Amino acid sequence: MSKRIEVTDLNAFYGKFLAVEGVSLTIEPRSVTAFIGPSGCGKSTLLRTLNRMHEVIPGAYVEGEVLIDGNNLYGPGVDPVLVRRQVGMVFQRPNPFPTMSIQDNVLAGVKLNNRRMSKGDADDLTEKSLRGANLWNEVKDRLNGPGSGLSGGQQQRLCIARAIAVEPDVILMDEPCSALDPISTLAIEDLIEEMKADYTIVIVTHNMQQASRVSDRTAFFNIAGTGKPGKLIEYDDTTTIFSNPSVQSTEDYVSGRFG
């Protein structure tokens, strides 16, 4: 199910502002890749270009190529909706749909697309996705309760369940734990470890311990100063990045001696 992502010479713009410049990297299937770097260096922007969410913002556009198993996401005639069905996303703040029950939230990807589904299939998919997100035992008795009634950590895992219910090949996570307490963070990190077997996972994080715990490879981004574009500084195995980086600024950043 998981796929290789190849990014070549990618520039991402917000209107005239160049936010990310000249990024090229390859993300292997069935691996966890972490994007780290200071605020405003374009990690989230780059992540959002991987499922064409970047262009949702008015005026934003992308130059360059992103290939998923050889298919260019930015080729002519590509439908962003089809891309997003293959590349799921989990956001920084948990955002369950407030009008829907827990079960409807999990099935949102199916139901919102007007696809019909028998009750048995729907229940199976709900249980499978919630088990996949480690949430089943906590919510199995109140599947019809509102999704917004869960705690923050549970809501975030509900969003992960919602993302894996549409069976994507790739899951992008934009600082999924930044609004959560250590226990919920641990639950989600364990989950990422398990999900690695089936999915290609890309995670943006500000937490370097988290990057070193969960990821196989790490990409370090940096900006030269305010208003300058973010660039990929170094991309290597996580152990190399954290123990023996080849660029001085990476070492400064991961060891906390930045700036």
Interacting residues toward other proteins by CB under 8 A: 51, 53, 56, 58, 80-86, 88-89, 91, 93, 95, 97-99, 108-109, 111-114, 145-146, 148-150, 159, 162-163, 166
**Shortest Cβ distance from residue 81 to other proteins (Å)?**
5
Q: How far is the CB of 40 from other proteins (least distance, A)?
A: 19
What does the alpha-carbon distance between residue 209 and residue 211 come to, in Å, rounded to a whole number? 5
* Shortest distance in whole angstroms from residue 49 CB to other proteins: 13
Tell me the closest approach of the beta carbon of residue 48 to other proteins, in angstroms: 9
Name the β-bridge partners of 17: 14
Q: Give bridge partners of residue 35 from the DSSP assignment.
A: 204, 219
Give Cβ neighbours of residue 202 (< 8 Å, ≥ 6 apart).
Answer: 5, 27, 32, 33, 34, 35, 47, 50, 170, 171, 172, 173
For other proteins, give the closer residue by CB, 75 or 145: 145
Nearer to other proteins, 4 or 85 (CB): 85
Q: How far is the CB of 52 from other proteins (least distance, A)?
A: 9
CB nearer other proteins, residue 19 or residue 223: 19
Confirm if 196 and 188 have CB atoms less than 8 A apart. no
DSSP 228: S
Closer residue to other proteins in complex, CB, 147/229 = 147
Residue 150 CB contacts under 8 Å (≥ 6 apart), including other chains: 96, 102, 139, 158
- Cβ distance to other proteins smaller for residue 172 or 223: 172
